[in-house]
Chain A
Amino acid sequence: MAEQIQKKLQGELEKYQQLQKDLSRAVAARQKLEAQLTENNIVKEELELLDATNTIFKLMGPVLVKQEMEEAKGTVGKRLEYITGEIKRYEQQMQELERRSEQQRETLGRLQQELQRGQGKG
């Protein structure tokens, strides 16, 4: 009886750990996206500062590709939107993960109590 509970406890514990890992991954991804967001904002502002007299390049791999000013601005704007969308998605994911990990924690607590009771009896 106690072993059953112990096995169950193990299983739940693993699930909980998995959830925690997912959560931390989501957090890291979100942080990365945040950095990209800031950077793109800076690029956008700097593009505003520039005028048409100078050429803009985009680095794609080892190649510097020439771009038009408007094209560059459009690209940066789209990228910004994409990043914000991604951030939102990750936010939701994180909330979901937190909720589930909370549930797991409760389950774990219950199982632990049962285990202690069982061990106490036995």
Chain B
Amino acid sequence: MVPFGPLAFMPGKLVHTNEVTVLLGDNWFSKCSAKQAVELVEHRKKHVRKALDDLQKVMMNFESRAEFTEDLQRMSDAASDFVDIREEIEDDSIGTKGKYRTAHKPHSKPKVSNVFEVDFPVNGNDTKSVGHFQSEEELWARLEELERQETLLGELDRMPGTVETNGEDASSSEEEKEDKRTDLNGTYRAEDSLTQGNFHKQVTNSDLFGGQLNGSTYYHSDDEDDIDVGDNSVPTIFFSHTVEPKRVRINTGKNTTLKFSEKKEEAKRKRKNSSGNGHATPELPNIKTPADIYRVFVDVVNGEYVPRKSILKSRSRENSVCSDTSENSAAEFDDRRGVQRSISYDEATQSDNSEGVLEEEEEEEGQQQPPKKLPPSSGTAEAFSGTVIEKEPLSPSLIPHPVIAHPVLPTILEWKSDEVLSEASEEPPKRISKFKAARMQQPT
């Protein structure tokens, strides 16, 4: 008796009990054995499981997004303000700090710098303002320049510094401007911690605003403090790719000004030390006397600090378009040259690249920074270890800038760039004084 519906049975036989008609989907059926039917069912189950897993993944994605948002909210609730992680290129939206223009006393350099740094509308001043070191005269000149500029500050707030920079560049001969720029660079860096390209802009702005000399690095710390205060204690994390090199123009003699990239190195070191913590306040060297300069700007040789040789005593002047350098011992020359070259390169690039190549330059300098440590570490006796390679393309174009009276200088400079290109290993053979070579060429 076989079931005939739910309520009845019928006498009969069940045949082909192994045959089942399976729905394949979409109105398709197939008669198959039970085993095949099982296979089909398994296959379908697999398919469904896969769909389920995919949906699970989607759900997890959404959940993580929601969680992230919740965390963000929690963080912002916990802190009084948001935690800004900024890596801005343009500083349009940077909120101005409270103290826009604290009165600055022209003759109190440290304070001035503080004021100006605060002025800058920077989100969370990155307290990386590298100590701008400038000679006293430069500081004063800078102060005056800045004061002049302060009057322009009103409209110029946040103006893209290009205009200023251009103006600055036009009068590039002025050390002050350079100083300012460098100062601003440092300042801006602290303020903006923007990428290098942006930094350029910042620099100009800082020129406008930050005329204040930030020679004393310790002021920077003050500034930083101020900035922090002015920042409304908004925890801000600033990203900055490279350290804006501070350029200090120093009159090294005839018609040439070397730009110290000391600050840059300093800043770079500081950056490196404080890498990652945007808010870290790099310890700024307290420079109050010229002697402090030498104390601060030291080369790291073999892990120790070796005071850097004065550029006035170095052969760098030969390299830097300064005219007569008397007898140069090869070693000495190279030694100085190496150091100077790095410096002059930095400076040269700095000055020339003020316009638009800053980004490049900054990159280069940024790149240079790490490699720059190599020359000092390699010993003062070694020539430049090719760290300037990045600058290399720029240097030839830049070098002519300061060079005026030396027909041979381009050659030297080129050679310098060549040297730069060459790896350290090549340097020993090139120890022959460049200047000698130039002199030899001169007669010819």
Cβ–Cβ contact B26 & A46, under 8 A: no
Q: Chain B interface secondary structure, helix, strand, loop or mixed?
A: strand
**B30→A42 contact, CB < 8 A:** no
Known: A42-B44, A45-B43, A57-B21. A50 touches B27 (CB 8 A): no
Do B33 and A59 have beta carbons less than 8 Å apart?
A: no
Check B25 against A40 for contact (C-beta < 8 Å): yes
Q: Which of A54, A72, A79 contacts B33 (CB 8 A)?
A: A54
* In the complex, chain B residues 19-65 whose Cβ is within 8 Å of any chain A Cβ: 19, 21, 24-33, 36, 39-40, 43-44, 47
In the complex, whether A43 has a CB less than 8 A from a CB of chain B is: yes
- Distance in Å: Cβ of B29 to nearest Cβ of chain A: 4
Q: How far apart sit A79 and B32, CA to CA, in the bound complex (Å)? A: 23
Q: Which residues on the B side are within 8 Å of A117 (C-beta)?
A: none
Q: By the criterion CB–CB under 8 Å, are B28 and A76 in contact?
A: yes
Interface bits B353-391 vs A (CB < 8 Å: 1, else 0): 000000000000000000000000000000000000000
> What CA separation (Å) do A50 and B32 show in the bound complex?
8
A57 in contact with B26 (CB, 8 Å): no
Q: How far is the CB of A74 from chain B (nearest CB, A)?
A: 13
B26: chain A residues at CB < 8 Å are: 36, 39-40, 43, 76, 79
Which residue from chain A places its CB closest to the CB of B23 in the assembled complex?
A: A59
CB pair B33–A57 under 8 Å, yes or no, is: no
Beta-carbon nearest neighbor of B33 in chain A? A54
Of listed A46, A49, A53, A57, residue having the most chain B CB within 10 A: A46
Chain B hits for A76, CB < 8 A: 26, 28
User: Given contacts A46-B40, A49-B39, is CB(A57)–CB(B47) below 8 Å?
Assistant: no
Complex Cα gap A40–B26 (Å): 7
- Classify chain B's interface size: 10 to 19
Nearest chain-A residue to B51 (Cβ)? A38
Partner of B27, one of A45, A47, A58: A58
Q: Cβ of B40 and Cβ of A49 under 8 Å apart?
A: yes
Contacts A42-B44, A50-B36 given; indicate if A55 touches B24 (C-beta within 8 A).
no
* Set B27, B28, B30: member contacting A54, Cβ < 8 A: B30
The answer on a CB contact under 8 Å between A42 and B29 is no
* B33: chain A residues within 8 A (beta carbon): 53-54
Is A1 positioned at the interface, with any CB of B under 8 Å from its CB? no
Q: Is the CB of B44 within 8 A of A46?
A: yes
Q: Does A111 sit within 8 A of B, measured CB to CB?
A: no
Q: Is the CB of A49 within 8 A of B43?
A: yes
List the B residue with the shortest CB-CB distance to A51: B36
Q: Are A42 and B36 neighbours in the complex by a CB distance under 8 Å?
A: no
Across the interface, do B36 and A43 meet the contact criterion of CB distance under 8 Å? no
Given A46-B43, A46-B44, A49-B43, decide whether A39 and B29 contact each other with a Cβ distance below 8 A: no
A85, B26: Cα distance in complex, Å: 18
- Residues 41-76 of chain A: 1 if any B CB is under 8 Å from the residue's CB, otherwise 0? 011011101100111111110001000000010001
Contact B28 A59 (CB under 8 A): yes
Q: Are A42 and B25 in contact (CB under 8 A)?
A: yes
Complex formed: what's the CA distance from A53 to B19 in Å? Answer: 11
Given known pairs A43-B26, A47-B24, the reply for A57 and B43 (CB within 8 Å) is no
Cβ contact within 8 Å between B31 and A55: yes
How far apart sit A49 and B30, CA to CA, in the bound complex (Å)?
A: 12
Most buried by B among A53, A57, A76, A79: A57
Contacts of B28 in A (CB 8 A): 43, 56-59, 72, 76
A35 vs B30: C-alpha distance when bound (angstroms): 21
**Contacts A42-B47, A45-B43, A46-B43 known; A58 to B29 CB distance under 8 Å?**
yes
The smallest beta-carbon distance between A93 and chain B, in angstroms, is 24
Would you list which residues of chain A between 69 and 100 have a CB under 8 Å from chain B? 72, 76, 79
Contact flag A57-B31 (CB < 8 Å), given A39-B25, A43-B26: yes
Further contacts, 6 of them, CB under 8 A, given A53-B33, A76-B26, A79-B26: A47-B30, A54-B30, A54-B36, A59-B28, A72-B28, A76-B28
Pairs A–B under 8 Å by Cβ, sample size 23: A36-B26, A39-B25, A39-B26, A42-B25, A42-B47, A45-B47, A46-B24, A46-B30, A47-B24, A49-B36, A49-B39, A49-B43, A54-B30, A54-B32, A54-B33, A56-B24, A56-B29, A56-B31, A57-B30, A57-B31, A60-B27, A64-B21, A72-B28
